[in-house]
Amino acid sequence: MVVRASPRSRPRNAFDGVKVFSATMFANRERLGEVVTQWRAEHPNLEVVDMTVRQSSDAAFHCVSICVFYLETNARVR
């Protein structure tokens, strides 16, 4: 037997998926926010429930990553 929670009973921090955006080159890091904004505009059926921004670096490189956690608002409950 499989029991699935209705969308209304999901925990507040539940998510269906995560999209990771990352960049190491300076020009790509500069426009990373615009890339995320464009992706969000192209996916209106996704409800963003959390986002994290991380930076890592070593002696030569810097990397910025943005993780977008989302719920599919038109997802079917099976």
Sequence-separated contacts (24+) of 38-47 with Cβ below 8 Å: 39/68, 40/68, 43/70, 45/72, 45/73, 45/74, 46/17, 46/70, 46/71, 46/72, 46/73, 47/71, 47/72, 47/73
pTM (two decimals): 0.75
Could you read off the pLDDT of 65-75 as tens digits, one per residue? Answer: 999 999 998 75
Q: Give the pLDDT mean for 41-64.
A: 93
* C-alpha closest to that of 72 among 36, 43, 50: 43
Q: Give the pLDDT mean for 25-50.
A: 95
Confidence of residue 58 (pLDDT cuts 50, 70, 90): confident
Predicted local distance difference test score (pLDDT) of residue 78: 43
The CATH homologous superfamily to which domain 13-72 belongs is Archease domain (3.55.10.10)
Predicted local distance difference test score (pLDDT) of residue 64: 95
Residues β-bridged to residue 48: 70
